[in-house]
Amino acid sequence: MAITFKPDETFRGDFSFRNSPEAIRRFPFPFTADKFQYSVNIEPHTAGPRGSCCEFPIDIDEHYVAECRERAWCLATTSQRYLALPHMAQAQWDVLELIMSSLARDYPEHFHLERRGTRWNWVNRPLGIENRFTFGDAKTLPYEPLEYITRQAQGDWCVLDQRDGTLWLDAGMVTTQADWSLDFDLGMNFNEWHGPVPLAAELGVFDRALKFLMNLQLTHPVRRFNWTMTIHPRLDTSPEEYPRWGPDRTIVTRENAGDLAHLRVELQALWRLPRSNAIVFSIRCYLISLSELVTVPEWGRRMHRVLKGLHPALVEYKGLRRIRDTVVDWLSSYDAE
């Protein structure tokens, strides 16, 4: 099933990103109730319905080429967005294998992987890339393996070492984040990097999640969904770039909220890695403008109610303080109740 890519979409400047009707149809709307509450909400990362964003373990959609270009731009113009501590070298190869084998298996019209022992040949047709390289020998690739392959994948990728009874954020490619810094968080353990998240610690949510992840097994990946809102379809909402995107929060009005305010959903998936025993954590970002979202009537209604009833600490933590009332106001006309 070939995808029609939209290579010239932008996630900055003129923000030409738009979702096709198909992209709207398969958007992972995250709310299952009219009120949002934290939960561990981890579920097996098994195949979802045909055409859904969970049909395959690693999802490629119409925005693929544009997102890869955006990542390349981000890496060229900002610093410390890709970092890897030396002891994660083997884990990098595990991630390269995971992404290459998934894409080649699930999108054979776009990707091809040939393996002869350690001599691999990788073809990425949408990006026009072909590389013959030796698996395990970083000198045979133009970048370190983790950087090389994540430049060709949508979403952020974090690699976690498991030791001393917890997980450590020891490598990552992070250019599409919702306001956290890889540079700052690199080297932190599970409790530390979750430090800023309110409420959940008191509920014991993190202890249960960590215990579960420590026992994550090969071939049994898990997933969960996270959400926030972004003004403009801007992927790079890093703290580093906050001076650039922060002011956007003040320009949302009752008139432009539909086009400017976007629901941002993260499909987070975690895999155990074979050779390194590390864990890779992917954060795949889906954006939809409110105008696009309300074309699905039940989404418009639910979004209105969730935002209206959101706990104040969550409003604050998700950065919604300035826009919440305006957005709720805009959505109210799509909720007859």
Partner 1 sequence: MTLTSGIRSRPIYTALRPDLPGRFHLLAGQGSGGEALLRLLRLLPTLSEAAEIRVIYARESVSGRDFSELLRSHCGTNLSVVSTQAEAVAVLDRALSGCVMGTRLYVAGSESFIGSIAKVASAFNMNADEVQYEHCGSRARRVYCVHCKMSNENVTTNIVKCADCGRHLLVRDHYSRRLGAFMGVMADAETPGALPPIVEVFK
Partner 2 sequence: MKHAETIPVEVAHIEQVTPLIKQFTLRPVGVGELPSFSGGSHIVVVMRAADRTFRNPYSLMGSPRESTSYQIAVRRHDGGRGGSLFMHREVALGTQLEIAHPVNLFPLVKLARKHILLARGVGITPMMAMVDDLDESSCPWELHYGYRGPGHDGFGARLRARFGDRIVLYDDSAGDVPEFARILANQPLGTHVYTCGPADMIKAVDQAARAAGWTGSHIHSEQFTAPPVGAPFDVNLARSRLTVHVPADRSLLEAIEAAGVDAPYLCRGGVCGQCETDVLERDGELIHNDHWLSDAEKAGGMKIMPCVSRACCTRLVLDR
When the beta carbons of 119 and 220 are compared against partner 2, the nearer one is 220
246 forms part of the interface with partner 2 (CB under 8 A): no
325 binds, among partner 1, partner 2, none (CB under 5 to 8 A by kind): none
Catalytic residue among 115, 224, 244, 322: 224
Q: Are strands 279-289 and 129-134 parallel, antiparallel or unpaired?
A: unpaired
Annotate each residue in 159-198 with x if it binds partner 1 (CB under 8 A) or - if it does not, as one string.
-----x--------------x-x-xxxxxx--xxxxxx-x
* Contact pick of 206, 244, 274, 325 for partner 2 (by CB under 8 A): 274
Binding string, residues 46-85; x marks residues near partner 1 by CB under 8 A: ---------------------------------xx-----
List the structure tokens of 18: 């738009």
| Among the listed residues 119, 208, 220, 254, the single contact to partner 2 using CB under 8 A | 220
Known catalytic membership, residue 26: no
Nearer to partner 2, 90 or 295 (CB): 90
Closest CA to 9 of 61, 53, 79, 56: 61
* Residue 139 structure tokens: 């000198």
CA distance 334 to 294: 7
Q: Which of 76, 98, 192 is nearest to 143 (CA)?
A: 76
Q: Judged by CB under 8 A, does residue 88 bind partner 2?
A: yes
**Sheet containing 166-173, strands listed edge to edge, beginning at the edge strand earlier in sequence:** 43-44, 222-231, 261-272, 279-289, 156-163, 166-173, 82-84
243 touches partner 1 by CB under 8 A: yes
9 binds, among partner 1, partner 2, none (CB under 5 to 8 A by kind): none
Is 132 or 211 the residue whose CB approaches partner 2 more closely?
A: 211
Task: Say if CB 48 and CB 22 are below 8 A apart.
Answer: no
Interaction with partner 2 in 125-164: which residues (CB under 8 A)?
161-164
By beta-carbon proximity to partner 1, the closer residue of 41 and 181 is: 181
Which of partner 1, partner 2, none does 332 bind, CB closer than 5 to 8 A by kind?
none
Binding site for partner 2 (CB under 8 A): 87-88, 94, 161-164, 215, 217-220, 274-277
